[in-house]
Structure 1
Amino acid sequence: MGLIWLDSPVLWHSARTPSRKSTLNDEENNLIRTKFLDWYRADWDYAQTTVEFLCAGIAIAMIFNIFSIYRRKSSSKSTRLSPVDRIAAFCRYATARQFRIKALGWYSPPLAAVIVVAGMILFFTALTFGQHPYQWPNMEMGHSAPLATRSGWISIAIIPFMIAFATKVNWITALTGTSHEKLQVFHRWSALIMYVTSLIHSFLFIWNSIHRTHDMEEEWQTSSFYWTGVAALVPQTYLTLLSWGYLRNKYYETFKNAAGIFMVAMFVHVDFILTSWDYFWATLAIYGLAWLTRVLRTWYNSSLIGLTGTLISHSSTIIELTIPVPPRVKWAPGQHVFVRFLGLGIHMFSSHPFTVASLKEEGVVRLVFKTHGGVTKVLKQKAEGKAGAKVSVWVDGPYGGVGQDLAMFERVVFLAGGLGETFTYPLFADLAKKIKDGKAQTKAIDFVLAVRDQDSCAWLEPALAETQALLSSTNTKVQLNIYVTQDQLSNTSSLCEESGESEIEKSKERLQDGVIPKIQGRPDLTKVIHAACTAQEKDVAVAVCGPDNFLFDVRNAVADRELAITKGAEGCTNLYLHSENYGW
């Protein structure tokens, strides 16, 4: 195989020098110079169109974000629904509504994301297949079939956006207000669309070389385009298959390595044809700036040698890591950080996301997590049998957080499933301090926590009791319910979801396990949302974190209420939802 890497001399762009071919008739010469078929302007017709479409989508999301910010700043306490209230409620319905296939354990993104992804698929399908012919009737008209040309340019133009959707330091987040983890759905679907267009591009070239020009073996031996194309397509296939859920998390390190191989192979493959390398420079700028920002901020937060954290084992599955941080490190309630554990072998080569369970006033980053496999299993082994085992870490962040100030709402509902409490509790504690200081408009708070066993929330009970006591001298009503779904609590019969409120209250009086009373069973999340939205408060915020099924119930209960608002139903006129999944 001849290792022909790049054409010489290497240029920024290749030339656009079309000429009439004497072997073609006038009709064929005119056809190959037609807009959307001309090889020499295919980057303008298809790659730039792809960029314009994706930029337009980001611009629309930015406009919605500006509208949301403006409405938040100019909102009144009127009890009457305005047209703006109805429009906002309908938009929030689309961002809340979710679907699932229960038998497969599959949960869709929110309806708004489904609509956007469907629009992306429809647009790129039309852009790829809308123009005929797909093949040149005469191979003298060009070795690259029109369908292969356009699908290749679409693939190249998607790359910068695919990377932009995935970075932690994210300019799309800055423009649209959508946190980086919620952009992952667009990263995965743009990658899948790119993979399909890459397959179309590759298979057409292979088909033509085998069945029309019969020069496949010669091309493979003398041209870099074929083997570099295969060298890119193989890791791209691997990346596409492993970019969804469990497999990506399990093989994250090899996932990143394959991404590097793919980018290098693609860079060589396109060989500065027309403006192809422009998209790689853009990708390098987006990823490089994000990477450099993360590195510098990590070192700023943690110093080059790292910070020393202390591990505490709360139960057989719950671990707490407390990291004293310099005063310059700041975060807001509900935000998360990425932690790199130094000195833990292979685990030091990847960073892991954790929600910060403490407030910045405490001066420590407190992370509470459940042990599974991988690094959490190693940390569990390190913490067992030791009083305060030490571990050196780098802290990158913070990221995410709640987009609105919960202190501006008259009623706030905190819902947590499992260790979702690490997200909701800091928000609750921060809101309580604002209420105590007279800096909040909140009149009522509902805090609902559902855990499998009592050990899962034992670490939080003293803090919850302290926060509840802080509010006892204020006029804010606080309803705090902890549900234990699997453990059998003493001296009580199981409470099913249909239990009435009075029965629950009686059971709470009976159950005094630990600092705070607990309820046996599962909360009826739909009823919790309905009760909060039909009370006297007109502005209601819901902050929820938990597993997929927990979020599904809350999202759809909120979506139902948003539709009710658009129809002018009695109850709240402004309902805000912020959801987090404690999985990654």
Structure 2
Amino acid sequence: MSMSMGDMPAGSMSMGDGVPSLFTLQKMYWAVVGSAIGAATLVNVLNRIVAQHRLRDSSLTPAKPKSLFFNLYATITATVREVSYATPHPLKMGGFTLHFPPLGPVLIMLANLITVMVLCFYKLDTLDPWKWENVGYRTGFIAICQLPLIFLLAGRQNIIGFLVGMSYASLNWYHRWISRTLWLTATIHMGFWFRDWDRWHYILYQLKNDPLTKRGFAAWIILTFIVISSFAPVRRLSHEFFVIQHLVTFVGFIVAVWMHAPSEVKTWVWVPIGLVVFDRVARYTWGAYANLAIFHRKKNANALWAHSASFTPLPGNVTRVTIENPGIGWQPGQHVFLTCHSIVPLQCHPFTIASIPEDNKMEFFIRAENGGTRRFFRFASKNGSVLGSGEVAPRGRTIFVEGPYGSMRPLRQFDSVILLAGGMGATFTMPLLRDVVSAWKNENIEQTSNPTPRLAATKRLRFIWVIKSRAQLSYFDSQLQSLLADVEECRRTQPHFEKELEVSIYITCDEKLDPPTIASATSSLPAQSVAQDISIFDEKKGSGVDHVSIHSVSSQSASNQNPKPTGTGCLPGGGCCCTTQIENEDEITNCSCTCAGPPPVQSENVTSGPKTADTQSIASNGPMKLIIHPTIVSGRPTPRTIIRKVLEKAEGESAVVVCGPRGLADDVRRSVVSLSDERAVHKGTGAQGIYLHVENFGL
């Protein structure tokens, strides 16, 4: 008797009348998995057809379904979204907060678990001691047939991701939970053999003397370690160590399973090995093409490597990495893995591309945490002072690029787009914003000379950025001003331009030691003036951008109305943090949070000083006022209110994209579900659908 299923072929053995063979059960599992992947692929194909149709639609509402089939599809989609986006409120236990995944992925994993458990125990009596061996055989066969799915979900060059239109990063969550289901199945497999042997006090004898049992137990020990180390709290202790140990333990696990499994099921081991080899070969082949100068036209014909990066320090311990004339293309919202051996040897980290292809450069904003990112910042800081207190002459270093990776539905197909970012999450949302505005601009230029098909069905853009310090405004200062200028230029050259752009920036904390960094439109202010509560609102009169107002209030007036503010906390450096949520930014007259600070600074009008060309064009249709005091901070946005206002004007499907801390992402998810249910989206009310994309923030 052996935990490994013995020496005899077990795949076709009979376990009773009407009971499928073990090989048949394995095929049934993959029939279920294949059906799920096929259904997701069909949805992906339909979504691509919808996107193409919208860009060809010449009506005034291209993002609105117009046929019976697509109306029905929109109704089914809206119902599924309300269930799949739903997210429970986080559970707080002392200083620890437990966040829950959305219901959709959870239901998929529950369906997989139920399928596995049914196949493991179908028509088997687990209370009959004489059937325990059969359960051991069955669970072993079901466990090993899950291996290919785990590795299909793990690779960066992801076959499932290509079919269903999902990024490998999103599929990695499923990879972890399928692995945990495998661990549960393997534990049941081992447990029933132990249970059978325990009747004869045979467990220790088997572990000491039976080679197959030893290998099986070793495989289970390694798998247990892999599962424990993959939980987020452990994984985040050291990402570099996690990657190395994950690769080492994977090799050990595969070897132990291969030695433990009988020859009739070794195919299920060879398939994962083949998938790993395919992923590595594809990655290295593409990496060679992307990084060898011989495949790209470069100014330096004698260079071996294609990419050289400059490193510039920015406020907030952030490094800007710039690669001029990259050898690969990308889509807004994608990321690449960067390797720079001269600064961080033998390490590879993913970073979002913060620029768009039209820039002809890849730009990254990398916050210094631990390990490699901190070394990037230290290297950049050696060149000079932090940007804002003196420009830096960046130093170039050879850098290797792998990618791009990442997948989402193109935003140009939606009627209205809402982009919400927290902190460095703007590196994801800013390129998406710029891409749609670029489509507006190019479409406007082409239609001025020769009418052409539309490049974007989007009519409204809403951009929210929540940052802690005003110094972070310098990251995307020029891009924001350029966007506003582009939209204003479109309105000037096209009288019937009906696009709307609205941008809001919320500052939740302020450190007084930061340099007074203000958006470009206010660059003419005196050096001692500091913008505190900055909310850039592009108010609309009919359509388009009419003016940009930067709101704040002196602490004197704020303190008169809010003598005992809540949600504030003074920082050691004399700054202030505010956690109060702003329910309706259109009704802001005062900041609701104050801290003690120096005397108020006299309010000034931005237009009183000399203007730049951009400032003149942006402010030409309305006032641009700024009231300043260095101790006033804004609160936090209310996503539900922001999203609702956009949805009320939407004339087709809208998209909501969020990238930031887990709390912000969960809040946006719940807001989308609540509004979809409240407005009865595609259920006869005329309310249009809401597509939600949540980009993972951090590990």
TM-score range, shorter chain: 0.7 to 0.9
Matches within 5 A, 1:30-429: 32=15, 34=17, 36=19, 41-42=21-22, 44-74=23-53, 77=61, 82-103=71-92, 104-134=96-126, 137=129, 145-212=133-200, 214-216=201-203, 218-249=205-236, 250=238, 251-272=242-263, 274=264, 276-303=265-292, 305=305, 307-327=307-327, 329-344=328-343, 348=346, 350-386=347-383, 387-404=393-410, 406-429=411-434
Partner of 1:543: 657
CA RMSD of aligned residues (A): 3.1
User: Who is 2:475 aligned against?
Assistant: 459
**Secondary structure, in 3 states, of the residue corresponding to 2:405?**
strand
Contact 1:134–1:146 (Cα < 8 Å) also in 2 = no
Seen in structure 2, the aligned counterparts of structure 1 residues 570 and 47 have a Cα distance that, compared at 3 Å, is: closer
Normalised by the length of structure 1, the TM-score is: 0.85
| Structure 1 match to 2:562 | none
Amino acid in structure 2 at the alignment position of 1:58: I
Paired AA for residue 181 in structure 1: A
Q: Which residue is equivalent to 1:497?
A: 581
- Is contact 2:340-2:397 (8 Å) kept? yes
Counterpart contact for 1:414–1:447, Cα < 8 Å: yes
> Which digits, 9 at most, give the CA deviation of each residue in 1:115-137, with x for residues without a partner?
11111122222222333233775
Hey, what does 1:577 align to over in structure 2?
692
Q: Which runs of 5+ in 2 are unaligned?
A: 293-303, 384-392, 444-454, 491-496, 512-531, 534-552, 559-577, 592-623
CA distance in 2, matches of 1:571, 1:425: 31
Q: Residues 443 and 207 (structure 1 numbering): CA distance in 2 closer, same or farther, change over 3 Å?
A: closer
Equivalents in 1 of 2:472, 2:696: separation in Å? 17
Does the Cα contact within 8 Å between 2:307 and 2:326 map onto a contact in 1? Answer: no
Report if the CA contact (8 A) 1:450-1:483 is conserved. Answer: yes
For residues 456-476 of structure 1, give each alpha carbon's deviation from its aligned partner in whole angstroms, at most 9, with x where no partner exists: 332111211111111112232
CA distance in 1, matches of 2:637, 2:213: 59
1:519-573 residue CA offsets vs partner (Å, 9 max, x unmatched): 7111111100000001254342222211111111111212223332436476741
Flag the 1:83–1:32 CA change in 2: closer, same or farther, 3 A. closer
How far, CA to CA, are the matches of 2:97 and 2:461 in structure 1? 32
TM-score, normalised to structure 2's length?
A: 0.72
- Pick closer, same or farther for the CA change 1:513–1:341 going to 2, 3 Å: farther
Q: How many equivalent residue pairs?
A: 545
**Partners of 1:503 and 1:265 in 2: CA distance:** 65
Give the structure with the larger helix fraction.
1
Equivalences for 1:425-464 in 2 at 5 Å?
425-438=430-443, 439-464=455-480
Cα distance in 2 for residues equivalent to 1:211 and 1:546 = 55
**1:445–1:477 Cα contact (<8 Å) kept:** yes
Residue 156 of structure 1 deviates from its aligned partner by 0.4
Q: For 1:449 and 1:513, how far apart are their aligned partners in 2?
A: 21
Q: Cα offset for 1:191? A: 0.6
Cα distance in 2, alignment partners of residues 523 and 137 from structure 1: 61
Does the CA contact (< 8 Å) of 1:325 and 1:364 recur in 2?
Answer: yes
Provide the secondary structure at the position in 2 that maps to 1:145.
Answer: helix
Distance 1:181 1:277, change over 3 A: same
Which runs of 5 or more structure 1 residues have no equivalent in the other structure? 9-13, 20-30
What's the % identity of the aligned pairs? Answer: 23
In structure 1, C-alpha distance between the alignment counterparts of 2:356 and 2:586, rounded to whole Å: 35
In the alignment, the residues of structure 2 paired with residue 442 and residue 18 of structure 1 have an alpha-carbon distance, to the nearest angstrom, of 58
* Cα 1:85–1:54 shift into 2, 3 Å: closer
